[in-house]
Amino acid sequence: MKKRIAALTVALSLSMFGAAAVSAQAPATAAAPQATATAAAPVQAAAPPAQATGATQAAPAPNAAAKVAAAPAKGGAPAKITPNRGITIGMFALIIAVTMGVVVWAAKKTQTASDFYTAGGGITGFQNGWAIAGDYMSAASFLGMSGLISLYGIDGFMYAVGPMFSFIAILLVIAEPCRNAGKYTLGDILSFRSSPKVVRGVAALSTVTVSIFYLIAQMVGAGKLMQMLLNIPYRVSVIGVGALMVAYVVFGGMKATTWVQIIKASLLMGATTVLCLLVAIKAGFNPVGFFTDVVSNSAIQEHVRMNVLKDVIAKPGVDYGQRFLEPGLFLKNPLDQISLGLAWALGAAGLPHILMRFFTVPSAKDARKSIIVALFLNSSFFFMISVIGFGAALYLTPQAISAVDKGGNMATLLLAQHMGGGPGSLGGDIFLAFICAVAFATILAVVSGLVLAASAAIAHDVYVNIIKDGKADQQLQVKVARITSLFVGTSAIVMGLMAEKENVVALVALAFAVAASGNFPVIMFSLFWRKFNTAGIVSGLVVGTISALALVMVSPVMTYPKKIAADAKKVVETLEKKQAGGAVLAEKEVQALEKSRAEYVKNKDGKSMVGLDAPIFPLKNPGIVSIPLGFMAAFFGCLLFRERRAEEMFDEIDVRQNTGIGIAKAADH
Amino acid sequence: MSEKQQWEAIANHSKFIELKRKKRNFLFSWWIISTIYYLLLPVISGYFPEAFRVKVIGPINFGYLFILSQFVMAIGVAIYYAHVANKTFDRLTKQLLEALQ
């Protein structure tokens, strides 16, 4: 039965991609960015709040027109990336077939709740390390980060430090204690010595909030990526990706999700290593020579001067090439950077889908090992991505990269095509198709983990432990978990379809801010503070979550129609002035003029989602305010309502988390 | 002995107290040190960008090397921690478990 369903899903998704690819020969421009806010960084937006900082600066609409006016378009043809359809679809099919094989194999072994949520605790530390590393290597870091580096130099590289460093907090204070004290979910850790029902309810709510925000952002990113790569319509790709993700989780549970993640992480590491090596060979393994070439490259110099700094006339004494290796081209507000840094350093440790991974290994020692493996893999990955980014800038020029996608998201793909032998060559086609397929696998693997985390919170915390008082047999638990996953996955598809024009950057910023301000403080206090209790958990989670949500809602990452209208008006005025001056507008300028006029009319009376004309809170990342608020709320809430039982039970959680005595019994298997 | 008393007994065991003290001192101090080093990155690049511009080798400047040093720091802390945990913490835990038998 399961086999048949899996086969059906493969057939369905394949036919969908096939049909879409053939039918969607529509002009590429139709698929091109519509809403400036979202289009600026569809892929990188799926990254943690990192990208939040720049998405709006990356490609503001008016500059597009200004650029057109300033730099004559080369040959007039719109630049785009053209993967070989046959080879690419073949690679996609191969990946779907292999992962579906994993699902069928895992489905047979998934009988108990423990199998479903944690693969029966039977993943080794090494395997889990690859899976965790895979959770960090999202399409955002793979495509977005190299693009950012290729367009903004060292500022892009600075983004890589946050995700890499986030492992330290996880390694030192989260992974081992959570493995020792927890079972399947965040609720299990928090409800240890507090009123279980209340705490589980709030923890489940927080987990679902974080996972869903993150999930929708990934779905929207997936839709846009497939649209850009293969001209598959947005809707079709969201439904296709969604159907596969649901199949992975519902049938294969954690085991399939983990193995899909491991497979994709190895493919990604392999592809990145090859690409990085090709760049290194081309540069003669000489870093000084490589960077000398970068700073003396006239295309890069011109890009920095014209497109980034907008110095129409070169300022005397400024070395625009060297400027590429200096900070400040992309990251402008230091306070925002610090806030973002904090969100990374703490938020990743509060992400439910990362937390869940510690329960898949048999002991704290394995949890430790998995984080160290993940740290090694990711730091080498991010380092190689930086080489790819600078290599793309040097060998392809930032102009060519931003011509294909303003946010630079296609840099890695273009470089692969270039290094494989260039567009149209067999090597180029194969390499490009391979990288596209890997990017696709990446999205699938990441979204599956998120669906699993959200459905575990609903099925395990809410249904089994609140509604059923923990009294549900294994068969029923697995059945409920599967139904919940189906439900969560379907909702994610629907929300992904509705969120096409939403600002995904805001969604990711939200997920991270909530994880850092709500989840992290209460996990820390639960593990390390004797007096901590129910009131502290509830107030910490509620205040942390709400303050993070509220600050993002009034922050600059939201869309402010009046601002868009004002920008559009500027474009209209500039171009009309040019027209009035007797100049004949180029076709692109006429288009820009019409688009801006329409945009102005559409947005001139609009307000942001919460009814504002302009942001109230100046930072894009609320962490610097909301994290202390979360900690304080947890602290004072706990002191306000003392609870003797919680204090008495501290010894138990303290002994457990430090020694692993009574570890969530391997009893389940 | 009730379950609660059992946990209390372990929590007051000299070996457990030693393990816990060593662990917390090590983990929290390294966590704080590394976090301060990590936060220096946005602080220096944001408020003292001229420091990042100082060229060190050819066009490679202090900023680039400082970012690389973050990677080295994180890996260094991880390796050191793994070493201490494997050697000291795991041994103390094992001793405690044996003493409890």
Between residues A54 and A195, the one the model is more confident about: A195
CB contact under 8 A, B16 and A173: no
Question: β-strand B55-57 against B60-61: which pairing, if any?
Answer: antiparallel
User: A382 with A134: CB under 8 angstroms?
Assistant: no
Maximum Cα–Cα distance for chain A, whole Å? 84
User: CB contact, 8 Å: A105 with chain B?
Assistant: no
pLDDT band at A9 (very low <50, low <70, confident <90, very high): low
pLDDT band at A456 (very low <50, low <70, confident <90, very high): very high
Please say if the pLDDT value at position A527 is more than 60. yes
Amino acid sitting at position A445: A
User: CB contact, 8 Å: B81 with chain A?
Assistant: yes
Between residues A141 and A33, the one the model is more confident about: A141
Residue of B21, B68, B71, B81 to mutate, testing the A interface (most A Cβ within 10 Å of its Cβ): B71
Give A308→chain B minimum CA distance, Å. Answer: 17
User: CB contact, 8 Å: B62 with chain A?
Assistant: no
Block residue for tokens 């890695």: A412
Predicted local distance difference test score (pLDDT) of residue B56: 93
Question: B30-53, pLDDT tens digit by residue?
Answer: 999 999 999 999 999 999 989 999
Helix ranges restricted to H, A457-503: 474-498
Gyration radius of chain B over CA positions? 21
Q: How far apart are CA A453 and CA A616, in angstroms?
A: 33
The residues with which B55 forms a beta bridge, in sequence order, are B61
CB contact under 8 A, B93 and A327: no
**By CB neighbour count within 10 A (0-12 exposed, 13-18 middle, 19+ buried), where does A573 fall?**
exposed
- CB neighbour list of residue A162: distance below 8 Å, 6 or more residues apart: A48, A50, A340, A341, A344, A345
User: A382 with B70: CB under 8 angstroms?
Assistant: no
CB contact under 8 A, A168 and B82: no
Give A543→chain B minimum CA distance, Å. Answer: 25
Residue in chain A closest to B38 (alpha carbons) equals A165
Q: How far apart are CA A584 and CA A568, in angstroms?
A: 20
CA A343 to chain centre: 14
Report ipTM (2 d.p.).
0.93
User: A400 with A414: CB under 8 angstroms?
Assistant: yes
Q: How far apart are CA A338 and CA A374, in angstroms?
A: 24
User: A220 with A521: CB under 8 angstroms?
Assistant: no
CA A298 to chain centre: 33
For chain B, give every domain's residue range: 3-100
User: A47 with A225: CB under 8 angstroms?
Assistant: no
Tokens of A339: 């806030």
pLDDT mean across residues, chain A? 83
Q: How far apart are CA A223 and CA A309, in angstroms?
A: 32
Tell me how far CA of residue A544 lies from CA of A354, A524, A650, B7, in angstroms. 19, 14, 24, 32
Tell me how far CA of residue A603 lies from CA of A34, A53, A501, A568, A574, in angstroms. 14, 23, 14, 9, 19
pLDDT > 70: percent of chain A: 87
A213 backbone φψ class: left, alpha, beta (φ>0; ψ -120 to 50): alpha
Question: A547-572, pLDDT tens digit by residue?
Answer: 999 998 888 888 888 888 888 888 88
User: CB contact, 8 Å: A300 with chain B?
Assistant: no
- Choose among B34, B47, B53: nearest Cβ to A326: B53
User: A357 with A174: CB under 8 angstroms?
Assistant: no
Predicted local distance difference test score (pLDDT) of residue A380: 95
Q: How far apart are CA A58 and CA A35, in angstroms?
A: 14
